[in-house]
């Protein structure tokens, strides 16, 4: 079965982006959420990437 990146409908807090990435990478969604917050807090563009993914990623 081919894996596809999409927003999660099960692991959803805001838009399902972190849940979808976690499903694609076979990780716990909490790990992806913590990584996003850490990346954003350390001066990265995590929030911009999250918003772009929320707009561009298809529903799952």
pLDDT in tens, 1-28: 788 888 888 888 889 999 999 999 999 9
When pLDDT is averaged across residues 21-46 and rounded to a whole number, the result is: 90
Share the mean pLDDT of the chain: 89
Q: Is the pTM of this model over 0.75?
A: yes
Containing structural domain, residue 21: 1-60
7 phi, psi to nearest 5 deg: -70, 140
Domain total in the chain: 1
**Shortest CA distance to 5 belongs to which of 27, 22, 20, 19?**
20
In percent, the amount of the chain with pLDDT more than 70 equals: 100
User: What mean pLDDT do residues 34-38 have?
Assistant: 92
């Amino acid at each position: 079965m081919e894996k596809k990146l999409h927003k999660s409908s099960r692991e959803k807090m805001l838009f399902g982006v972190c849940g979808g990435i976690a499903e694609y990478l076979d990780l716990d969604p909490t790990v992806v959420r913590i990584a996003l917050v850490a990346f954003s807090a350390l001066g990265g563009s995590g929030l911009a990437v999250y918003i772009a993914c929320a707009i561009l990623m298809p529903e799952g």
